Structure 1
């Protein structure tokens, strides 16, 4: 009885192999390829976003360091941040630098921009800021 069941199962497997897959393999490959490509593009897009974020943060820090020095102005900080973005900020598109929020005792540099995207119509924005106290002369 058991050998009849096994031989029946073997015959069914043989018939299935001889029939072929009927094109299901191609459909499965096409669906899987789309999913894999979507995952690859997502990983690349996340990498572009984090890179643009780090570049904007570095530009803001450079601006703060230049603007907080004794005798410097917030305009010096904005200029330094803009120079940094011009040299290294290719991943931050349409970048703008401002010193809004600065006071007589503290400098704050903010960098706004957008990220290059792989998906048409998708817009990702980056806003990073840095702040620090301004160096000043005091009597002991």
Structure 2
């Protein structure tokens, strides 16, 4: 009985931590996507100030309480198209698993036409 438990318990813990790790990964992915969307919406607005997207993403990530560690935000605005990329990492509970997250969104810049 003790031998069977000594084999099953570590496997059960590994499965439990893998399940929790999956939840952390998908939460982090959602946070990164929403931060990128916030930056995109701020930067593509008509007459948006330079750096508005970067500020919006940073504010959103700060409100999320550190869900992504080492988060970086790159905003590219070429005048017609805005693209935003948010990268970061989530907490790692499973040994050997890479918790890096990379989300990218893009949309055309808003223009006023008469």
Same fold (TM over 0.5): yes
Matched, 1:95 2:71: yes
SS state at 1:135 partner: coil
Higher relative contact order (CA 8 A, sep 6+): 2
Q: Any gaps of 5 or more consecutive residues in structure 2?
A: none
TM-score (norm 2): 0.91
How far is 1:107 from its partner?
0.8
Runs of 4+ in 1 over 2 A off after TM superposition: 119-123
Structure holding more strand per residue: 2
> Do residues 51 (structure 1) and 11 (structure 2) align?
no
User: Which residue does the alignment assign to 1:110?
Assistant: 85
Provide the aligned length of Structure 1 versus Structure 2: 114
- Verify the 8 A CA contact 1:78 1:97 in the aligned structure 2: yes
SS in 2 for 1:99: strand
> 5+ residue gaps in structure 1?
1-24
Aligned to 1:72: 48
State TM-score, norm by structure 1. Answer: 0.75
Which of 36, 39, 45 does residue 60 from structure 1 map onto?
Answer: 36
Q: Which residue of 2 aligns with 1:82?
A: 58
Q: Measured at CA, do residues 97 and 126 of structure 1 come closer, stay the same or move farther in structure 2, by a change above 3 Å?
A: same
**Secondary structure class of the residue paired with 2:63:** helix
Q: 2: distance between equivalents of 1:35 and 1:123?
A: 20
- Asked if the contact 2:43/2:49 (under 8 Å) is kept, the reply is yes
Larger helix fraction of residues: 1
Per-residue CA deviation, residues 62-107 of structure 1 (Å, 9 max, x unaligned), is 111111111104510111011101111522100010113x321111
Structure-2 separation of matches of 1:74 and 1:125: 28
**Residue deviations 1:86-134 (CA, integer Å, cap 9, x gap):** 111522100010113x321111111011111114564321010111111
